[in-house]
A and B are shown apart, each in its own frame.
Chain A
Amino acid sequence: MQKRSLVPIIYIIFLMLPIYWLVAMSFKTTNEILAGFSLFPQTFTLDAYRTIFTDPTWYWGYINSIIYVSLNTVISVSVALPAAYAFSRYRFLGDKQLFFWLLTNRMAPAAVFALPFFQLYSAVGIFDTHLAVALAHCLFNIPLAVWILEGFMGGVPKELDETAYVDGYSFPRFFMTIFIPTIKAGVGVAAFFCFMFSWVELLLAKTLTAVEAKPIAATMTKTASSAGYELGLLAAAGTLTIIPGAIVIYFVRNYIAKGFAMGRV
């Protein structure tokens, strides 16, 4: 082995160690975890996963999370597309200020918005629904999606729009059949980040739900407190939480590199 590959290998091991530990723990019994140090599961067990996939309070956590995350991604991207188009193609009064103001929404901690959202959603009767969480997450995902999409759209020359009009395309038809396919990499990247931020956000998701739309992260914290030390179960839940992100990032990995190159991600 060459010497110079040593450093990256050590670094990767360092990064992967906690994830390995989590996965290894999920296959151990709670007794073994508490007993002391073991690199591999001594008694390999799938009990933790069996519990998660059979107990509705567990698997509904995942289903709830996936529902509101998907809902949020769809809302964010479809609202951000026309907004980003306007910012990239038109000059209007205060456009730059508005664009910057959108970004500042990301600067406030989510806790600031938790109380007003809780009160507002309770008042209009959408508390503890998937829509409540999806809408709340729009607060920081729409600005992000607008920002990413505007970068990609800015890379498309205005001449493309003009060529399409000359060829006879109406604006909606041009937008749907030519413009969106042209920036599909950007749509992919924007959708990925919306998905990711919504997936990992805990505070708003926990505050705005009780039973019906309880996200997996909330399920995990509650189990930890009530059932004592079910560490194997928690590790299995944690492992399963990583998987959706890993799947999504696999599909957009090439686009993300493009987004980084454009300086917008």
Chain B
Amino acid sequence: MALVIKDITKVVRGVTHIKPTSLTLDTGHFNVLLGETGAGKTSLIKMMAGLDPIAAGQIEMDGTDVTKLTTQQRRISLVHQFFVNYPHMTVYDNIASPLRVARMAKSEIEDRVQEAADILKLSPMLKRRPHELSGGQQQRCALARAIAKDSQAVFLDEPLANLDYKLREELRELLPELFAGRGAVVVYATSEPEEALLLGGKTALMIDGRVAQYGPTADLYRAPDTLTAAQIFSNPPINHAPMSKQGNTLRMGNIAWDATGDAAGLRDGEYTVAIRPNHILPNASDTATVPLTGRIGVTELSGSESSAHFDFQGHGWVSLAHGTHPYQIGEDHTFYMDAAACLYFGPDGSRAA
């Protein structure tokens, strides 16, 4: 089973919101739409769900063209970022409502609601109304409604964005189990790179209303096609600075190091080097060998990790390392960069090595 979109486009009052986009989304793993706010994730989901009209293109579900079908005729589920439940119905009725609309037998409805409620730990509160539940429970109710139904595609539009940290972790762990073996195409929109990595599967990177890159999530993380893609798929933001190659030497301001690995194949010229914060460490190691000195600006400690923002030759760079480190704000500190983890981009922003 697969959800195939071919060159779908959205135009609002003459302005193109979604540029022609084609994707083949498979079942059996999460399909993550990763992009910043306004990149078009929600628009794309609404188009696939039939809620927003598409200006051109075609949508196929399971080999059937559904472009002309209304939302009601498509066998889909949708969970919003906001906790959307029917406020006047109990949790049980909420989960059962799509099944009742589909005229399912009463005993079958009961079985399905129980099953969904068990997985999402809602069984003790089936008789309550949504406003009597906590935010996490309300979203679990919305998820239960989505899985109780036999859907060909399940769209999750940033379902965890409005939950606090702990609930988010809890629910995220549940998600893969929820959809395992259901045979539905799961589309998950998020603006957080960590979430995409945790959910695995495949990721489509969205930038300005188009899919910039699509592939297995780990590949996208390791080998982004463009500097923009690398920037979106990195939190804290990826560090970057202009660099030049001459002979076997890479030079970034007054820092120079030998070109090895992928970088050795680069032609001489001007490039942009990008490196993730977790490859810039406060101490030298076997891999982190290139020293760079910068003035410490802000430091942050988040549990087991500490990050330091420092001024490197006029660029705001970040180092992210395990453990706590005695940074002195306003003082110079020498960090060590893992040159093998550097990504190199040409002047047009596409990756050179």
In the complex, which residue of chain B has the Cβ closest to the Cβ of A184? B88
What distance in Å separates the Cβ of A9 from its nearest Cβ neighbour in chain B? Answer: 37
B244 close to A (CB within 8 Å):
no
A55 on the interface (CB 8 Å rule)? no
Task: Kindly state the separation between the CA atoms of A158 and B105 in the bound complex, as whole angstroms.
Answer: 30
Interface size class of A (residues with CB under 8 A): 10 to 19
* Interface core residue of A159, A166, A168 (most chain B CB under 10 Å): A166
**Does A82 count as interface, using CB distance less than 8 angstroms?**
no
CB <8 Å contact, A163 and B72:
no
CA distance A173 to B145 in the complex (A): 18
Asked whether B97 lies within 8 Å of A167 as measured between CB atoms, the reply is yes
Binds A, one of B60-68, B77-85, B281-289: B77-85
- Bound-state CA distance A170–B70 (Å) is 10
Do the beta carbons of B71 and A159 come within 8 Å of each other? no
Q: Is the CB–CB distance between B88 and A167 below 8 Å? A: no
Q: Once the chains bind, are B88 and A182 in contact (CB under 8 Å)?
A: yes
**Bound Cα distance from A86 to B98, whole angstroms:** 25
Per-residue interface assignment for chain A, residues 153 to 177, with 1 indicating a CB less than 8 Å from any chain B CB and 0 otherwise = 0000101101111111110010000
Residues of A within 8 A of B98 (CB): 166-168
- In chain B between 45 and 59, which residues have their CB closer than 8 angstroms to a CB of chain A? 46, 49, 51
Which residues of A from 189 to 219 have beta carbons under 8 Å from B?
none
A178 adjacent to chain B (CB < 8 Å): yes
A56 close to chain B: CB less than 8 A = no
Are A169 and B101 in touch, CB under 8 angstroms? yes
Q: Which residue of B lies closest to A168 (CB)?
A: B101
CB distance from A155 to the nearest CB of B (A): 11
Contacts of B149 in A (CB 8 A): 167
Residues from chain A with Cβ under 8 Å of B88 in the complex: 178, 181-182, 184
The A interface, classified by DSSP as helix, strand, loop or mixed, is helix
Main secondary structure of the interface of B (DSSP, over half): loop
Task: Determine if A159 and B102 form an interchain contact, defined as CB atoms under 8 angstroms apart.
Answer: no
Does any Cβ of A come within 8 Å of B87's Cβ? yes
CB distance from A165 to the nearest CB of B (A): 4
Q: Which residues of A have CB within 8 Å of B102?
A: 168
**In the complex, B4 has a CB within 8 A of chain A:** no
B101 touches A163 (CB 8 A): no
B76 at the interface (CB under 8 A from A): yes
The answer to whether B221 has its CB under 8 Å from any CB of chain A is: no
B312 within 8 A of A: no
* A169-B72 in contact (CB<8A): yes
The residue that B72 contacts in the complex, of A160, A165, A184, with Cβ under 8 A, is A165
A165-B51 contact in complex given A157-B82, A159-B82, A170-B72, C-beta closer than 8 Å: yes
Proximity bits, A178-190, B CB within 8 Å = 1, else 0: 1001101000000
Across the interface, name the chain A residue whose C-beta is closest to B88.
A181
Q: Name which residue of chain B comes closest to A167, CB basis.
A: B98
Q: In the complex, are the beta carbons of A160 and B84 less than 8 A apart? A: yes
Residue in contact with A167 in the complex, picked from B46, B51, B82, B145, CB distance below 8 Å = B145
Given A181-B88, A182-B87: A166 touches B82 (CB 8 Å cut-off):
no
Question: Which of A163, A178, A181, A184 is within 8 Å of B78, CB to CB?
Answer: A163
Which of chain B's residues have a CB closer than 8 A to the CB of A184? 88
Q: Does B179 contact A (CB under 8 A)?
A: no
B86 proximal to A (CB < 8 A) = yes
A to B CB contacts below 8 Å, 13 in the list: A157-B82, A162-B49, A163-B78, A164-B86, A165-B51, A165-B70, A165-B72, A166-B77, A166-B78, A168-B72, A169-B72, A178-B86, A178-B88
Question: Chain B: residues with CB nearer than 8 A to chain A?
Answer: 46, 49, 51, 70-72, 76-78, 80, 82, 84, 86-88, 97-98, 101-102, 142, 145, 149
Given contact pairs A162-B78, A163-B80, enumerate 5 new A-B contacts (beta carbons under 8 Å): A163-B142, A166-B49, A166-B77, A167-B97, A182-B88
